[in-house]
A and B are shown apart, each in its own frame.
Chain A
Amino acid sequence: MMTLPQIKNILNDHRPESVEELAQEAAQITRQHFGRAISLYGPIYLSNFCSSHCTYCGFNSHNKINRMKMTPEQYRKEMQFIQSQGIRNIIMLTGESHKHTPVSYLKEATQIASEYFQGIALEVHPMETAEYKELFAAGVDGITVYQETYDRARYAQVHLSGYKKDYDFRYATPARAAEAGMRHISIGILLGLSDAANDVYAILQHLRELERSFPGVEYGISFPRLRTVKTESLASCDVDDVQFVKIIALTRILFPRVSINLSTREAPRLRDHLLDIAITRMSAGSNTSVGGYTLLEEKEQDPQFDIKDERSVDQIVKLLKSKDFDPVFTDWRHIENSV
């Protein structure tokens, strides 16, 4: 691992050759461990009911948006559409609400999703180990949970109420999911919330801890940057493209086999170039509104964030092939999960 001053030095080194050197090393490591395979997945937003107040989020409980929770018939239709695009790995997302989207709701969604998809992950409110065990047994293989920032003071400033206020409970969430048997766990920070070097250092420490405690889990990491929602800026982002590339390259160098994910929050040009450096997983054809694929017209939608890369799954596949990458849709074939 690197020390915090080393990470700071790297991020503050403004010579173009410094980012180039990192990128070259990262690219070589990525190709060695992943070849030219890029895993693709699709998101489905099941519900945007949320009991947390996170100042930067489009779904936060104080925002006046159309609240909606899909019924099984509704999300089945959305899932059929996503599957018809070729997607085999799905991540199901909700706002943070035990009340509106309890384990029973998530289990039913998992059951229906398993008719259409081979790999099922959840990005929902943090839960207890016993609840994760229940979901694992029901067919969930992966959990995504972002700490957003590891700066406790800043964390308290932006997470004003709801479950998400509890920093420590959230911090221990990946470990509880691993304890329950989950195969894939993704963690992340929201770049732009707090000092980037401190947060990068902290998340890499967190990842190292998890690797030591739960070596059998396949880990993923994401570095979403704060985006505007319906053109309203909810926070300013101070991580420029050069720093962003450095953070991703550095993560690859320190964690050669970890899957690094890039969402449609980033613009196509940057996404395309990051594929050459370290990205191994990306979403495609995404819609971040509840019911956004088939149920609602665009003007009726309230997305969690505005997408910058609006290319369809087919367009992403064409792009990957033109760049000599192998798009991987099936990265897991579901087997019975015993707890």
Chain B
Amino acid sequence: MTDSPLIIAGKSFSSRFLLGTGKFKNKKDLADSINASKSEIVTVALRRIDLERHEENILEYIPAHVTLLINTSGARTAQEAVRIARLAKASGCGHWVKIEVINDSKYLLPDNAETIKATEILAAEGFMVLPYITPDLYTARALVKAGAATVMPLGSFIGSNQGLRTKEFIQVLINEIDLPIIVDAGIGAPSQAAEAMEMGAAAVLANTAVATAQNPASLARAFALAVEAGRLAYLSGLPLQQSLARASSPLTGFLYDDAAAN
């Protein structure tokens, strides 16, 4: 069975696994993880890019064929996210931007309303905008209207490794929104990534689990394989889970009993 490529804003990707770059113990582990997973989209926080120091500049460790997705980490409002995105573009980091507007340093939950505003402004300026949200149907619809390239709902609290705690709400987005749905945040194990893909997610992003693993590169590879397996399962028309129990006293059998009697 052959898969169609993932298409975001007209650009085609053969990998459906996105990798975040925070929390790694060194930049070599990061580079190895990108290579091992064959990830083609990598997120980097602009606040962490040391443009002035060659050997500490994270961008030096990201292969040229990989699409750089700058995130607006640190933005507390739409206006700040817009400024960070513009600064990234002006610094030569491209125009693909993951909007992250977070005004709560305890839970790090995204502010959906501000995210919509930032998306509107940046999409109109020609940015490829991938907004990160708490899964919510109305927000997702507003993002489509605002010109988003994808919608990136969180699976659970960022960095929590708790998996798909928001599963039902993500499923609604997958069913109703015509943009690629990329599950981001909280994905802590390859099995969870596979589960998201089986549901019909277009792609999965992981970071903490990989970065803090004993062997990041091999876990990155495991994630990529799980994403592929989940995708294949989805395309294969995964049968729905059935309850093992069958009702012993059918409720509609009488319809046929009567017919037989007549």
Contacts and interface: CB of A to CB of B under 8 A. Distances in A.
B159 A219 contact: no
Contact of A326 (B26, B83, B103): B26
A335 B53 CA distance: 19
Nearest to B72: A335
Interface of B: 22-27, 46-50, 52-53, 56, 74, 76, 79-80, 83-84, 87, 102-106, 108, 159-161, 208, 211-212
B25 A325 contact: yes
Nearest to A317: B56
Nearest to A36: B25
27 contacts: A34-B23, A36-B26, A86-B56, A183-B74, A211-B106, A215-B103, A215-B104, A215-B106, A216-B104, A257-B106, A324-B25, A325-B25, A326-B24, A326-B25, A326-B27, A329-B50, A329-B56, A330-B50, A330-B56, A331-B48, A332-B47, A332-B74, A333-B47, A333-B49, A333-B84, A335-B87, A338-B79
Contacts of B87: 333, 335
Interface string A200-237: 00000000000100011111000000000000000000
Given A183-B74, A329-B53, A329-B56, A216 B23 contact: no
B89 to A, nearest CB: 13
Contacts of A308: none
A33 interface: yes
A117 to B, nearest CB: 11
B103 A216 contact: yes
A321 interface: yes
Contact of A32 (B22, B25, B47, B159): B159
Q: B interface, by DSSP: helix, strand, loop or mixed?
A: loop
Contacts of A325: 25
A322 to B, nearest CB: 11
A321 B53 contact: no
Contacts of B56: 86, 327, 329-330
Interface string A158-202: 000000000000000000000000010000000000000000000
B46 A32 contact: no
B50 A88 contact: yes
A321 B106 contact: no
Given A36-B23, A324-B26, A330 B106 contact: no
A328 B212 contact: no
A72 interface: no
A34 B207 CA distance: 12
A35 B212 contact: yes
A134 to B, nearest CB: 19
A153 to B, nearest CB: 32
B161 to A, nearest CB: 8
Given A36-B24, A325-B25, 9 more contacts: A32-B159, A35-B22, A36-B23, A88-B50, A321-B26, A326-B27, A333-B47, A333-B87, A335-B84
Contact of A328 (B48, B74, B76, B80): B48
Contacts of B23: 34-37
Nearest to A37: B23
Nearest to B52: A88
Nearest to B160: A32
B48 A217 contact: no
B25 A35 contact: yes
A76 interface: no
Contacts of A33: 159
